[in-house]
Chains A and B, each alone.
Chain A
Amino acid sequence: MLHSDVANSILRQRVSGILKKPARWTVLEIAFWVMAVIAWFLLPDQHLILTEIAGFAILALSLDLILGYAGIVSLGQAAMYGVGAYASGLFSIYVTGEPLSGLLVGALSGALVAFLTSFLLLRGGDLTRLMVTLGVAAVFAEIANQLTWLTGGADGLQGITIDPLFGVFEFDIFGHTACAYSLAVLFILVLLARLVVSSPFGYSLKAVRDNPLRASAVGIPVNPRLVAMYVLGGAYAGIAGALFTQTQQFISLDALSFQKSADGLMVLVIGGTGYLYGGIIGALVYELIQDALSSITPQYWQFWVGILLIAFVLIGREKPRNLVTGLSARVAELAGRASRSQTSKGRAP
C-alpha cells in the first residue's frame, strides 16, 4: 500500500518532469549543428548543394511532423510546398522582396492550404488519406497550370527578385548567403519542432498516432489534434517552398508535382521517421547519392534510386533510426560515465 503510494508519487514526478522540460540536447545533436556551421566555412564550393540539402530537409521535416508524429500518410506534401513557393514568389514580385516576410507568407499560405484540406483527411484510413492528399496536390498543380496570367503556367514564374537579407546580405550567385540563410532557417525550424513534439501536445499526438481509439478514450480530442499537426506540417512545407523560391529566384510547376511529394517522402524514410533528424540525414544521404549517381549516369540515376528504395524497404526502413538512436544512447552513456567518474573522483578524497 505504502510502497505503491511511493511508486506512484515517483512516477508522477517523473511524468511531470518529462512533460515540463523539453527534451535535453544530446551530444550528437550539438555535434551535428557544429558540423553544419563548420561545413559552411570549410566547403564554400558546396554551398549550392548544402542549400538544396537544407531545402529537402525542411520538406522532409514537415512530412515527419505529420507522418512520424501524427501518423498521417501523405502523398501530397507538394500541395503545401508548391503553394508556399508560389505565394512567396508572387509576394516578392507584387509586394516586397524582403525575404523574411516572404517566408512568413509561405508559411501562412502553406498552413492555410493544410487547414482547408485537413478536414478531408479525417475520414477513412491510410488508403483514403493517400488518395485524398494525392488528389489535392493534383488539383493545385492543375490550378497553377491553368492560371497562366498569375503563375506563368508551364513557363514558370519569372522576375522574382529578393532583397538583401536584413538589408545587408545580398543573395549572390555562389549561394553563400542562401546557404547560411537556409541552414539558419532549418535550425530554427528544428528547434521549434523539438519544442512542439516534446510538449504535452506532442505527447498526446504520439498517443493518437499509436492508438487513436485509446487516445480518444483517455480524453484526447483526436481530430483537432490531427488538424493542428497537419496545419503545422503545412506551414513547414510552405516555408520549404518559400525558401526554394528565394534561393532559386524561379518557380516552375515542378514544385507542385507528384515527384516533389515522392522526393519528400523518400528523403524522410531514408533517414527514418519520428525523430526530427530523419529528414535531415535523409536529405544529406539522398543528395549525395543523387550527386554521385547523376555524375555516373546523368540520365538514368532514377533507376538506381528506385533500386535503392526497394532494397531499403526489403531490408527494413527502421534501421537508420535505430542506428542513430543507438549511437546517441552510447554517446550519452559514455558522456554520463565520464562526468560521473569525475564527480566521484571529486568526492572521494
Chain B
Amino acid sequence: MLTLLFDGMAYGMLLFILSCGLAVTLGLMNFINLAHGAFAMAGGYVTVILTNRWGMPFLLTLPVAFLFTAAVGVLLERMFYRRMYDKSHLDQVLFSIGIVFVAVAGIDYVMGSQQQILNLPEFLRGRVSLLGVGIGIYRAFLVVVCGILAIALQLVLARTRFGSRLRASVDDARVARGVGIRVNTIFAVTFAVGSGLAGLGGALGAEILGLDPTFPLKFMVYFLIVVSVGGTSSMYGPLCASILLGIADVLGKYYVPTLGGFVIYIVLVAVLVLRPQGLFARAQ
C-alpha cells in the first residue's frame, strides 16, 4: 500500500514537471498550448539519442534536454507563438494541434515509430526497502528532483523581481508596458523556460511513460488535466493536482483495473464541475 502510494507520488511529481511549463503558458499567459507534449517529447528524444547513441552520461543529458527544448521554444515563440497571443482560443487550439501533427509525423520520419528504450545508469536502477516500503531508486530520484524544482519555481514566481514582472505582464500587458516592463521579452523567456521544463520532464519520464511518436497526443490530456484541475494561482495548485492525479491513477489501475482508465477523467470532470477555475483558483 505504502509502496503504491510512493509510486503514485513519484508519478505525480513527474506529471508536475511535465505540466508546470504548461501551467505557466496556459495558466498564467492564458494561451491554450496543446503542443506542450511535443516539447516534452523533444526532450525525451534528445536524452535517448545522447545516452544510447553517443554514450553521454544520463545525468549530463538532462540539462542538455532542458536547454535544447528551451531553445526550440524560444525559436517557435519568436516565429509563431507571439502572433497567437491575441487570437481567439479556437485559433490557439488549431495552431497547437497543427504543431502536434507536425511533431508526431516529423519524429516518426526521423526516428521511426517504435518505442525508444532509455538505458538508465547502474546507480539509478533497482529498489531499496526502507521501513518496509519498497522504493524504486529511480522513483526516489524523481521525487527529489521534482520537489526541488517545484520549490524553486514557486520561489522564482513569488519572490523574485522577474516573477512579479511576469505576473504584472500577465494581468495587464498594457499597463505593464506603460511602467517599463519589457513584456515581450518576459513572455519569450517564460515560454522558453516552460518548454525547457517540458523537455526535462520528457527526459526524466521517458523511462516510466515510454517514448514513441504518439507521446504528445497520448499525454496531452494528462497535462491539460493537471493545469485545469490545479488552477493557476501558484505552483502549489498544479503540484497538488499532479500528486493527487498520480496517486489516483496508480491506485486506480492497481485496485480496480477495469476502472483504471476512467479514474483520472472522472477526477477531472468532477473538479471542473464543482470548481470551474480549478482547485486552487485565483480570486476573481
Contacts and interface: CB of A to CB of B under 8 A. Distances in A.
Interface stretch (A3-11, A132-140, A167-175, A211-219): A132-140
Interface string B188-225: 00000000000000000000000000000100110011
A342 B38 CA distance: 62
Interface string A35-78: 00000000000000000000000000000000100000101000
Contacts of B87: 313
Interface string B84-116: 100101110111011111111110110000000
A309 interface: yes
Given A73-B90, A135-B269, A314-B83, A302 B97 contact: no
Contact of B98 (A67, A73, A306): A306
A265 interface: yes
Given A309-B94, A313-B94, A139 B225 contact: no
A281 to B, nearest CB: 16
Interface residues on A, range: 35 or more
A130 B108 contact: no
B261 interface: yes
Interface string A291-317: 000000001111101111110111001
A265 B262 CA distance: 25
B273 A120 contact: yes
A266 interface: yes
A298 B104 CA distance: 15
B89 A313 contact: no
Nearest to B278: A128
Interface string B223-254: 01100100000000000000000000000000
Nearest to B89: A126
B277 A313 contact: no
Contacts of B276: 123-125, 128
B98 A313 contact: yes
Contacts of A266: 94, 97
Given A127-B89, A128-B228, A302-B105, A262 B97 contact: yes
A69 to B, nearest CB: 14
Nearest to A310: B98
Interface in A137-175: 138-139, 142-143, 145-146
B261 A145 contact: yes
B80 interface: yes
A100 interface: no
A131 interface: yes
B140 interface: no
Contacts of A145: 261
A75 B93 CA distance: 9
A258 interface: yes
Interface residues of B, number: 41
B105 A139 contact: no
A238 B228 CA distance: 28
B106 A269 contact: no
A300 B108 contact: yes
B106 to A, nearest CB: 6
Contacts of A124: 272, 276-277
Nearest to A131: B228
Nearest to A142: B261
B89 A134 contact: no
B222 to A, nearest CB: 10
Contacts of A126: 32, 89-90
A127 B99 contact: no
A55 B22 CA distance: 35
Contacts of A135: 221, 225, 265, 268-269, 272
A162 to B, nearest CB: 31
B97 A131 contact: no
Interface string A304-335: 01111110111001000000000000000000
Interface in B63-93: 80, 83-84, 87, 89-91, 93
A269 B90 contact: yes
B268 A306 contact: no
Contacts of A303: 101-102, 105-106, 109
Interface string B256-284: 00100110011011001100110000000
Given A142-B265, A146-B261, A266-B94, 20 more contacts: A123-B272, A124-B272, A124-B277, A127-B26, A131-B224, A131-B272, A134-B224, A258-B220, A258-B221, A300-B105, A300-B108, A303-B106, A303-B109, A309-B94, A310-B95, A310-B98, A313-B84, A313-B87, A313-B94, A317-B91
Ranked nearest first, the 3 interchain pairs of A and B with the lowest CB-CB distance are: A306-B101, A124-B276, A309-B98
11 contacts: A123-B272, A125-B276, A126-B89, A127-B228, A128-B228, A128-B272, A128-B277, A132-B272, A142-B262, A309-B101, A317-B94
Interface of B: 26, 32, 80, 83-84, 87, 89-91, 93-95, 97-106, 108-109, 217, 220-221, 224-225, 228, 258, 261-262, 265-266, 268-269, 272-273, 276-277
